Amino acid sequence: MRNIFFHSGSGHIPASRYLSLMNRFLCLLLICIIGQIRLSAQGILDTLGNTIVRIETAVDSAQFAGGYASGPWDLHLGPDGQLWFTDQTAIRRWHPVTGVISTVLRVPSGYFMGLAHHSDFIHQPYVYATIDTGYYYGQSTRIEVWRYRYNSAVDSLEDPLFLLSWYHPGEHSGGRMVFGQDSCLYIGTADYAGLQWQDTLFMNSGKVLRVRPDGSVPSDNPRPDYSWTWGHRNPQGIVQVPNGNIIVSEYGQINDELNLIRRGNHYGWIIFDGNQCIGSIDTCNAYQSSLTFPIDVGQNPPSGITWYDHPSIPELHGLVQAVTGINQGLIAYTMNATMDSVLNKQYYLRYEYGRVRDACAGPDGSLYFIAYDRSSPRIMRVRNALNTGVSSTTFPEIAVFPNPCTDRIRFSTALPPTTTSAVLRNIQGEIVLHQKVEGNAGLLDVGMLPAGVYYLQVGNSVPKMLLKL
């Protein structure tokens, strides 16, 4: 596989100058190679589609007690850039640069589940958490939602305020949360046993709840209670996508669901499971026209879900769902332009890391997920293996992505939009590719070039070097 790095220069540069530049970058090349060898001891190389990724342990199993009741349940990227996670009786966070783990809250009993930060955390430093009142989720019958105030002076969560609760029979209980663009908190709750409370006023089970940050009922909810939608069996993941749509991954009895959440809609349980009628034919026929059906159905018992839109792993662009049972691993959903239907789904890392409890996208293109095999739970990080830290230029006039690359590169310049040309040279200074450019950005097909070192220049921009490792 070809991997190419770019560097750029100005004007017409003779071959001797290119050779001189190459010598200057040999040391950089050596450093990159040594760095990758060192990192290989910390992770493994794998592929997601056509992208080579490095999968490494961010938080290892030594941080968790081990056993059935131990391990992280929810991942959440905090406004401080750290990875927050719930861990049985604690809320903790991991620093992606230093690797330091800090505990901001510990309670004497219960089992922390979902986690969310206030959407205006700078001015309203509140953290919201759901907690099962048993020693392990599903071992009790009640989930509670609490709000805490973050005290940055002592790095802890304080002033607990109880907001609401719901009853759940059985192990499945919901519990994940997300703040919407409307500054309301959306919470998924379960009705695992089919007690038909999901359509009952003032009962919080089997629904997606919509709650104001202070715990009050929004005046524009469809009912005079927390209910936003109902007819849910066991919502496991909840995410808001860039256009504001809220999508829930839901654990079915036979058919697992991906649901687009719309105000006041009924999602079928306990009449339908996925698209399948599980009640009487007469009941299904009577209700069918008034129900909302999933945008995707499959046998992929889900847990958490996240939105990934970084270019470093293009195969993941869209929704990424953690899968805990059949097909355990990750599913990447490609969405349509309006983000309300599924165009395609692809499985990755299937059966490689046991049950995957949650997934969370980082701002640098990393994807974090919880690998949970009940004996050695850990938090993993997936990154583009060829991201060596020189993926964008240090020169302000031109930027190239990806760097390194294999088949195609995208480039843009700070030059005024005009008709110009992009010139690619090898290390001997010979032109190997010449392309007309309209505007100040473009795409080059370099798949036919042999592995090596090349230099790109767009108009009068500073040239950019590509090094192949």
Per-residue confidence of the chain (469 residues) as pLDDT tens digits?
444 444 444 344 444 444 443 443 333 333 233 233 233 335 888 889 988 899 999 999 999 876 666 789 999 999 888 999 999 899 999 998 889 999 999 999 888 999 999 999 989 999 999 999 876 655 668 899 999 999 999 999 999 999 999 988 777 789 999 999 999 999 999 986 665 555 678 889 999 999 999 999 999 999 999 999 999 999 999 999 999 999 999 999 899 999 999 999 999 998 999 999 998 999 999 999 999 999 999 999 999 999 999 999 999 999 999 998 888 999 999 999 999 999 999 999 999 999 999 999 998 899 999 998 767 899 999 998 876 443 333 334 667 777 677 788 887 776 666 777 888 887 566 788 888 888 777 888 888 888 766 778 877 665 555 543 3
65-376 CATH: 2.120.10.30
- Helix or strand (DSSP H, E) at 84: strand 83-87
DSSP β-bridge partners for residue 428: none
Domains 6-40+388-466 and 65-376 are alike in CATH topology:
no
Task: Name beta bridge partners: 369.
Answer: 359, 380
Q: For residue 466, what is the enclosing H or E element?
A: strand 463-466
Class of domain 6-40+388-466: mainly beta
Give 325-348 as a 3 state SS string. Answer: CCCCEEEEEEECCCCCCEEEEEEE
Q: Which of 345, 260, 270 is nearest to 300 (CA)?
A: 345
- Smallest CA-to-CA distance from 144 within 124, 174, 182, 120 is with 174
- pTM equals 0.75
First-last CA distance in the chain: 10
Interatomic CA distance for residues 77 and 379, integer angstroms: 13
Domain spans, the chain: 6-40+388-466, 65-376
Sheet with 418-426: list strands edge to edge.
Answer: 6-8, 463-466, 454-458, 418-426, 431-439
Q: Which residue has the tokens 């038909």?
A: 196
